[in-house]
Structure formats: structure tokens, C-alpha cells
Structure 1
Amino acid sequence: MAEDGSAQSATTWPVPEFHFSVEISEVGTISCKEVSGLDIEFDVIEYRSGDMKEFTKIKMPGLRKSGDVTLKKAIFKDDKKLMDWLNTVKMNTIKRASVTVALLDESGSPVQSWKLTNAWPKKYTVEGFKADGNGVSMETIVLAHEGVTPA
């Protein structure tokens, strides 16, 4: 029998992906089109004790690691806060920030949040310009960090 949704609770439903906020401690709250790369992964340690009867290795969790987080946002007139933070990156000196990405409900309250620890801008890209285009000018910021944790 096909699911018609009649059994779904009136208070529980999936949260849409389009309502979120990004706050950077060194910059403030920024408006983004897209956030990607919020992942957590563990190294796998394979181990076999010398007195194990089985001819197999056991697998244990090792060090935790996270990939880079990418932010895509529109370029706004007179909005220089992100570029000012990017310009603080010099050889071996970085102004690190905490970044909070929050998925919001219809009232604007956080449903779930993720915090990036000691983030800094690793890469900055401006998408190309087209003389015959009518889209919004976009910039991409890749953040290196030391871990993603639920906030």
C-alpha cells in the first residue's frame, strides 16, 4: 500500500534545506546560497592480537577527521567583512574563528547546529562574469578547520 502521509505526526516533519544561517565569529552573520562539506569521518585502525584464534583483524575507530567546508554567497555592495578576514591570513599567522551553521525552522529557531572549530579561509574564488548574463555575482570561500561538532 502506498504511503499517503496520513500517519505522519502533526509536530514532526523533515526540515527543509533552504532555511539556514551561517555565523562567523570574526565576521558576523553572513547570507549564503550554499554550505557544503559538513562531514565527520574516523580513521579505521585494523588490529589482530597474536593470540586470536580467528584469522581476521578487528576494526576500531581511530582519529576523527573532517574535510573542508565550502560557502557560496552573493557579492554585496560595500560588504567587506569577509575580505577583511581573508586579508588577515599571512604566512604562519591566521586569525581563526568559530563558525556556526544552523538549520532553521519556519520561525527562525535553530533545529540543528554545527560548529567549526578554529576555522580560517583557505581559498577564495569569484565566479566568472558574463556580459550577456543576468545572474548574481557569486563568491566561494573554502574554510579549513579543526573539526565539526554538533552545537
Structure 2
Amino acid sequence: MADNVTAQGANTQEWPLPSFYFKVSISNVGDISCSEVSGLETEYEEITYRAGDSPVFTKLKMPGLRKSGDLTIKKGIFKDDKALWDWVNKVKLNTIQREVVTVSLLDESGNPVKTWEAVNAWPKKLTVEGFKADGNTTAFETLVIAHEGVSAK
């Protein structure tokens, strides 16, 4: 009997990795304990082209420059956690401490299974969520990070 192997080479008895077990690290800043990460995407601009002597009445589509969206990290506020604020405060006019942001999806043992790196990253916006006197939620801050591309490892 044949092994239960899919086209991707994974055993059909395995389950996809859960999205809640991940780690975020920023070079020269450290590991960031966060509850949410979004924006791991790569997109290419579309160039449409039609040669003047082409008998076909449609345009050709070709890939253009790569575009990178922003990474968004949402994390709880801890008492003595100042690493992100220190990084944000280093941003000055035309002087930016660019870093590599690494997001790792972990297996049940805590080992990285899939890793994404955003290169030349710098803090674009840091927002502290609002406070409510009658609320019972955790205090959060949201960091938006600009970068120049994501690669999967």
C-alpha cells in the first residue's frame, strides 16, 4: 500500500501548524512578546504592455517592481519594557536605525518551522491603545514597521 503523501510531500496524518505559537525578534532590539502580527506579504506591481505590431488585441502582463506593505505588531504593555520605545526614539530626520524583523512560526516543541524576515525595517508608528476606567482588558500598544521586503526561510 502506498504511503499517504500529498503533492507537497507532507504526510496526510500531519496537521497544519497553529497560528498562535510564534516568535518575533528584532535585531539589536531583542525578542518581542506580542499577541498579533500581520502584514507578512510580498506583491509585485503589474506592467501592462502591448507591442504596436502585435496582431493580438490584448495586453501582455509582466511583473514590475516589488512592493512591500507594513508589518503590524500588537503587544501588551509591560512595566519595564522600553525596548520598542528606545528604537522609536532613535528615528530622527533621515537617520534611522534599520533592523531585521524575524517572525518564526513554531512547532509544539518551540522550534522554528517557518521563518520570515523583513529587511531594513524601521518603526513607522507606535500607538498606545486607549484606556477605559470601566474596562477590564489588557493595555496594548501597536507598532507599525516599514520595511523593504519580506523573504521566507
TM-score under structure 2 length normalisation: 0.90
2:72 match: 70
CA deviation digits over 1:29-86, x for unaligned, max 9?
1111100111111101111112211111110111111100100000011111111111
1:47 match: 49
In structure 2, the gaps of 5 or more residues are 1-10
1:149 match: 151
Distance in 1 between residues matched to 2:137 and 2:58, nearest whole Å? 57
Distance in 2 between residues matched to 1:69 and 1:48, nearest whole Å? 35
Code of the aligned partner of 1:16: P
Percent of aligned pairs sharing the same letter: 64
Question: By how many angstroms is 1:109 displaced?
Answer: 1.2
1:38 match: 40
CA deviation digits over 1:131-150, x for unaligned, max 9?
11121110000000001111
Code of the aligned partner of 2:20: F
1:9 matches 2:12? yes
1:28 match: 30
Question: By how many angstroms is 1:9 displaced?
Answer: 2.7
2:3 match: none
Give the CA RMSD over aligned residues: 1.0
Q: How many residues align?
A: 143
In structure 1, the gaps of 5 or more residues are 1-7
1:125 match: 127
Q: Which runs of 4+ in 1 moved over 3 A?
A: none
2:4 match: none
1:85 matches 2:87? yes
1:21 and 1:30 in contact (8 A); partners too? yes
TM-score under structure 1 length normalisation: 0.91
1:26 and 1:85 in contact (8 A); partners too? no
2:117 match: 115
